[in-house]
Amino acid sequence: MTNNTEEKIMPVGGQAVIEGVMMRSPKRIATAIRRASGKIEVKVLEFQSLIQRYTYLNIPIIRGAVTLIEVMVLGIKTLQWSADKAMEDLEAKEAAQGNKTKKKEKKQGMSTMHAVFSVGLALIIGVAAFFVLPLYLTTHLFNIEKQALTFNLVAGLIRITLFLLYIWGISFMKDVKRLFEYHGAEHKSVFAFEDKVQLSVPNARKYTTFHPRCGTSFLVIVMLISLFFFAIVDTIIILWTGNITLLTRLAVHLPLIPFVGGLSYEALKASANNIDNPIVRILIAPGLGLQRITTSEPDDRQLEVGIVALQAALGEDLKSELVAEPVVESEVVFTSA
């Protein structure tokens, strides 16, 4: 997809949430969800990244690690907010049907500390399943511990296989299917914005659901870069000590995961800025291919939600970035942060 102008477009991105989309611009974060009533509810937060506030963090690799942590914390908080609203709708439906249950007092939203804890727990589970387990299996199933490149190729293939099986397995869940449709709505809305056309459902509908800056593509880049990066690290250890064990690998590899994430972030940015390069197209093909699972074609109502979220995230910058105002038909209501 090419832009109609060489003018640099404001970087935007987001993620799917329960019955909605979260969009992020350099100045704010907006989450739009479709309520059971049919209205679109929007929450907007003014936001400035740590790398914008502290210049010493805005350096290659470091900025990638910082951004990833921010994205995970924000992602979990917005998911929780959308889950709270979905629960409100479910309780209202049950009450209307006469299935009244004792109302439990609950706290809406999620505190920053709670979000950080949730991110930490998710990271521990993810590292154990997709990082430690492949190393353990490769060590105990194959006699290739001292063959650095071969070892990491095998571990990488096991890691990728486990990840693909996980993504493929959850894609059959009804709620996840809906989430992947909103993921597609997010991508189509962003493509329309980047192409500087009017943000409307008919215009957004014609774009693909496969975006090169997607988090899915990022995860593929992480797995590929980690494969070769840790092969180099293991080679250095073997040349230095003459031996390497599973415990040594874990002790060295685990602390370097943020570094690999930072490298992958820079690779993702570079690929997005050179999308027309034939070599780049080949390198990003696996990530785009995986999006055939993690994104689905959204319906018009889902596209509306994506457009509203993007409009709210852009705020007063909208008119300077687009050739026309957004067009949506559903009623939109804003909620306090």
Structure tokens at 211: 């975006």
In this prediction, residues 130-152 reach a mean pLDDT of 92
Given a cut of 70, is residue 112 above it in pLDDT? no
CA-to-CA distance for 159 and 260, rounded, in angstroms? 15
* Position 15 pLDDT exceeds 80: yes
pLDDT at 322: 60
pLDDT at 124: 80
H/E segment holding residue 41: strand 40-46
Higher pLDDT, 120 or 48: 48
At residue 204 the predicted structure's pLDDT band, cuts being 50, 70 and 90, is very high
pLDDT on residue 2: 38
Report residue 228's pLDDT band, with 50, 70 and 90 as the boundaries: very high
Paired strand residues for 15: 22
pLDDT tens-place string over residues 229-255? 999 999 999 999 989 999 999 999 999
What is the rounded average pLDDT of the residues 252-272? 87
Q: Is the pLDDT of residue 319 over 80?
A: no
Write phi, then psi, for 256 (nearest 5 degrees). -90, -5
Which pLDDT score, from 0 to 100, does residue 23 have? 94
CA–CA separation, 204 and 198 (whole Å): 9
3-state secondary structure of 13: strand
Structure tokens that stand for 172 in this block: 């059959």
| CA separation, residue 72 to residues 15, 112, 241 (Å) | 11, 11, 37
Concatenated DSSP letters of 150-190: HHHHHHHHHHHHHHHHHHHHHTTSHHHHHHHHHHHHHHHHH
Segment holding 74, helix H or strand E: helix 62-96
pLDDT band at 10 (very low <50, low <70, confident <90, very high): confident
Q: Residue 296 in contact with residue 168, Cβ under 8 Å?
A: no
Q: Give the pLDDT confidence of 267-278 residue by residue, as tens digits.
A: 888 877 777 788
Which pTM was predicted?
A: 0.84
Domains of the chain, by residue range, sit at 13-94+116-335
- Checking if the pLDDT of 260 tops 60, the result is yes
